[in-house]
């Protein structure tokens, strides 16, 4: 698909999907998945490098204690404040007042990762380095009608806190997950489960899987997820 066609195709396709879903009524889904339950007790630290782990991204290095988290949100990421079903831009965020969206995203990602590593008491002290490549939450229009996908993506590496040795090679994490919309979003907000809460909890789950599990497994987010990749 050429860049010119892509430029016009993506918003038209997103709008068509949004209108089609709207014709079927507001989103009623109330099932809450990982992002709303990620603060439950997580397993104790276990050794990385179990059989089947990708050698390119992990090593058999034992468990971790995270002593620092460095999150960068490059200024080159474009911010969109357009209230459309699917606006362009790399950063779409609305639950904080209008301001420095890069700093707001940095605060959310840092909070989520910090929550996820809280309580880990492994044998090796490490530093986590993260570069955000995309942070696409919902606009007001999408949030209160058809919902969509939270496209949260970043590059991750883990280093020894004392020697600087890279223990987990830089690799890309696509932490996209389904976003609530319509009545489901309104009901969640009434319980205090905002977009920020869900994204924070999801990021906590993602980093926990990376550090003490077999690595985070990318979720399937259907057609809206595919649109996010155009």
Calculate mean pLDDT across residues 27-35: 34
C-alpha to C-alpha distance for 72 and 23, rounded to whole angstroms: 40
Q: For residue 154, what pLDDT band results from cuts at 50, 70 and 90?
A: very high
Instruction: Kindly indicate the confidence band of residue 228, based on its pLDDT and cuts at 50, 70 and 90.
Output: low
Q: Tens digits of per-residue pLDDT, 5-20?
A: 344 444 444 444 443 3
Residue 208: the pLDDT is: 95
What confidence tier does 120 reach under pLDDT thresholds 50, 70, 90?
very high
What's the confidence (pLDDT) of residue 45? Answer: 31
Is 29 a residue whose pLDDT tops 50? no
pLDDT at 136: 96
> What is the torsion angle, in degrees rounded to the nearest 10, for the CA atoms of residue 72, residue 120, residue 178 and residue 197?
-80
d(CA 26, CA 18) in angstroms, rounded, equals: 11
Three-class SS state of 104: helix
- pTM value is 0.74
pLDDT digits (tens, 9 = 90+) for 173-216: 999 999 999 999 999 999 999 999 999 999 999 999 999 878 99
- Residue 220 burial (CB < 10 Å; 0-12/13-18/19+)? exposed
Structurally, the chain folds into a number of domains equal to: 1
**Domain with 192 in it:** 3-227
Reported confidence tier of residue 229, pLDDT bands at 50, 70, 90: low
Tokens coding 43: 């397993």
On the question of pLDDT at 145 being above 90, the answer is yes
**Given this model, what pLDDT does residue 99 score?**
97
pLDDT digits (tens, 9 = 90+) for 34-92: 455 433 333 333 322 222 333 333 433 458 999 999 999 999 999 999 999 989 899 99
pLDDT at 28: 30
Across the chain, what does the average pLDDT equal? 78
């Amino acid at each position: 698909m050429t860049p010119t066609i892509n430029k016009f195709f993506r918003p038209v396709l997103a709008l068509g999907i949004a209108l089609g879903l709207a014709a079927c009524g507001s989103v009623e889904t109330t099932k809450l998945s990982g992002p709303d339950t990620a603060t439950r007790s997580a397993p104790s630290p276990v050794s990385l490098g179990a059989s089947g782990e990708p050698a390119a991204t992990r090593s058999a290095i034992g468990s971790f204690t995270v002593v620092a988290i460095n999150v960068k949100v490059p200024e080159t990421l474009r911010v969109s404040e357009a209230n459309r079903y699917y606006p362009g831009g790399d950063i779409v965020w609305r639950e904080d007042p209008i301001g420095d969206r890069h700093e707001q995203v940095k605060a959310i990602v840092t909070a989520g990762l910090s929550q996820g590593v809280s309580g880990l008491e492994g044998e090796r002290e490490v530093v986590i380095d993260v570069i955000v490549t995309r942070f696409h939450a919902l606009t007001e229009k999408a949030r209160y009608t058809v919902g969509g996908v939270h496209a949260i993506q970043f590059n991750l590496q883990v280093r020894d806190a004392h020697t600087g040795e890279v223990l987990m090679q830089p690799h890309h994490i696509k932490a996209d997950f389904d976003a609530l919309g319509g009545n489901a979003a309104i009901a969640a907000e009434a319980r205090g489960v905002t977009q920020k809460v869900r994204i924070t909890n999801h990021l906590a789950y993602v980093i926990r899987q990376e550090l003490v599990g077999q690595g985070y497994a990318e979720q399937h987010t259907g057609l809206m997820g595919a649109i996010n990749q155009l």
